[in-house]
Amino acid sequence: MKLVLVDDERIVIEHIIGLVPWEKYGYEIVATATNGKSALRICEEKRPQIVIVDIRMPVMDGLQLIQAVSEKQLGIKFIVLSAYEDFSFARQAISLGGVSSYLVKHEIDSDKLLQELNKAKSAWEMDEKQRRMLKNEYIKNLVTGMEHNPSVYEIHGMKPPFGLVLIQKDSPFSAGHLTAAQAEPSNTAKWIWDIAKLCSDNEHWQLFGEFSVHEAQVVLLFSQRNKVSGLMREQLRELLSPIHSHLFHAYNRTFSVFYTFPTIDPAALHTSFHQVTEAARHAVFCGREALACAGDLPLPIESASTFGRSIRFDELNESLEQQNIQMMETAVKELFSRICTPKWDLRGLFDLINGLTILVNEPAAKNGIAESDPFDIQVYNPVYQIDDLIDRFTHLLCGRISQMNETSQLSNKMMKALRYIHEHYHEEISIEDVTFAIGISPSYLHQLFKKELDRTFLDYVTEYRIQQAKRILRQEDAKISEVAARIGYRSPQHFTQVFKRVTGILPHQYREVGSRQ
């Protein structure tokens, strides 16, 4: 906590400095002054939390200093020094506000000074918490477009130009929905505090405030301190780079940082906010640990996609028919290239992934066997960027040929049984239901399952249901009871027991693991 000592008698200042081991108790004397005018300038530059000030001084006395600081809304707490005969002035100072207490000069000792310092510190922290909450609420409303009178920004001390920054925890890409990052339980206040400490002494940019978008994203608003420099953008990036590194080492996970600059008009901050949130939504295009200016990214002007309307897999289908792996790899890369240039096309990416997933599972769909999920976290590593998606689908399409060879060995009766299970797994089906539908006996179907799939009928139904449950848990925010009902379990408790037996973890744990990886 920063302090300034103000007294026209140098001997008094030296006496106070010698009373307390300041560092030991978390205090730092950043400056001293012998009159109020010099002290006011120091307060504006150093922004101390506490000022110990004498009442009687030349040029500008203590009362005038307290009044000037109060008008500038610097949030400083004062400990007033006075002689016995100045007691009436001390009472007047207290009435001005911002005064924590007063001390009689000739009665100051170490214990008394520490007591009053801690009292001032507590008062400052309480006020600062309230000020910060109000300021951050105002900033959130201004940045998100809820504040319709941005001209009032001056009363909050905001001065352009501004830099707007969004920091996002990197989360695996999910093919289930158009989200940027999956929210997860987290103490965002802790890493906001870390960021604030790293920014506090930057000579070019001041952290003016912040707010959480959700548990995985924080938005920071910076105001430039040094208005004469022409390297504002570079200086902002230099400030963000160590923050980026610190978060990785402190929390053992990666973060991405997107920023916009410069913004002169506070009314334009809403546009900047849209830019950084769009950049975060398109994080899969730039990958993990991004540190990028949103204005430099090829973000779409409109959200509509034309890719899905014209998507064609002719070359890819031909490569699969010819079993030409090199041709297939080229075709996959070309398809992904189309949704990356000239602008990033997120909706087109989802259309492409859905189409490729259907293509990967086409042999399974035709033959009635369980389909594979390219994003199953218990089978595959998490995906974070386009290159990961290219590798994933190249690998799966290579496996499609061998899968075709395996499924061709299944009997016609078995494929009919599997198709029936896939169509009715959400119902209370029994082996008798399946055998009645396909025209064979239950005992014969039992034999087919053991011979051709090396598992029982119940094992297969359970595995298929759990596979569908995992897909729902990854892609949707459905309640566990709803998931259970949708895959054929009347009891959520029974579903939970079965899920843990098959996967080794509970349903809610599976969902949490997917969001953290």
pTM, whole model, 2 decimals?
Answer: 0.69
Which stretch of DSSP H or E encloses residue 261? strand 255-263
239 and 270 in a single domain? The answer is yes
pLDDT of residue 178: 44
Q: What is the pLDDT of residue 437?
A: 92
pLDDT at residue number 371: 73
* Phi and psi torsions of 128, nearest 5°: -65, -40
pLDDT for position 427: 92
Answer yes or no: are the C-beta atoms of 113 and 100 closer than 8 Å. Answer: no
Give me the number of domains the chain comprises.
Answer: 4
Give yes or no: residues 456 and 392 share one domain: no
Residue 393 pLDDT: 94
**Which ranges of the chain have pLDDT less than 70?**
84-96, 147-157, 175-187, 227-230, 302-310, 364-370, 401-409, 513-517
Domain for residue 368, yes or no?
A: yes
Of the candidates 378, 408, 438, which is a domain's last residue?
Answer: 408
Do 37 and 50 reside in the same domain of the chain? yes
Q: Are residues 40 and 162 in the same domain?
A: no
In a domain, 48, yes or no: yes
Alpha helices in 342-456 (DSSP H): 346-367, 386-407, 412-424, 431-438, 442-448
Q: Are residues 261 and 330 in the same domain?
A: no
Query: Rounded to an integer, what distance in angstroms lies between the CA atom of residue 161 and that of residue 152?
Result: 16
Residue 372 lies in a domain: yes
Q: What is the DSSP string of 191-228?
A: HHHHHHHHHTT-SSEEEEEEEEEETTEEEEEEEES-TT
- Domain of 427, CATH number, reads 1.10.10.60
Q: Is residue 505 part of a domain?
A: yes
My answer on whether 193 and 326 are in the same domain is no
Residue 218 CA to residue 210 CA, distance in Å, equals 7
Last residue of a domain, one of 245, 265, 296: 296
Q: Which residues, at least 6 apart from 77, have a Cβ–Cβ distance to it below 8 Å?
A: 49, 50, 51, 98, 99, 100, 120, 121, 123, 124, 127
State pLDDT tens for residues 252-303.
Answer: 889 999 999 777 888 889 999 999 999 999 999 999 999 999 999 999 976 5
The answer to whether the CB of 238 falls within 8 A of the CB of 219 is: no
Does residue 262 sit in the same domain as residue 370? no
pLDDT for the residue 366: 62
Q: Is 71 contained in some domain? A: yes
Instruction: Tell whether 283 and 185 lie within a shared domain.
Output: yes
Is the residue at 141 inside a domain?
Answer: no
| Nearby residues of 342 by Cβ (< 8 Å), 6 or more positions away | 298
How confident is the model over 144-178, as pLDDT tens digits?
A: 888 666 554 444 567 788 999 999 999 888 765 44
In a domain, 144, yes or no: no
310 and 231 inside one domain: no
Question: Which of 258, 276, 296 delimits the end of a domain?
Answer: 296
Q: In Å, what is the CA distance from 366 to each residue of 222, 314, 359, 418, 439?
A: 57, 19, 11, 10, 20
CATH of the domain at 103: 3.40.50.2300
| Same-domain pairing of 291 and 154 | yes
246 CB-contact burial (10 Å; exposed 0-12 / middle 13-18 / buried 19+) = middle
Q: In 10 A of CB 197, how many CB atoms? A: 11
CA nearest to 475, candidates 246, 267, 223, 179:
179
Please check whether residues 240 and 112 belong to one and the same domain: no
Nearest alpha-carbon partner for 355 in 401, 383, 389: 389
Cis peptide before 48 (omega within 30 of 0): no
Has residue 139 been placed in a domain?
no
In this structure, the answer to whether residues 314 and 275 fall within a common structural domain is no
Cβ count within 10 A of residue 456: 13
Domain membership of residue 347 as a residue range: 301-408
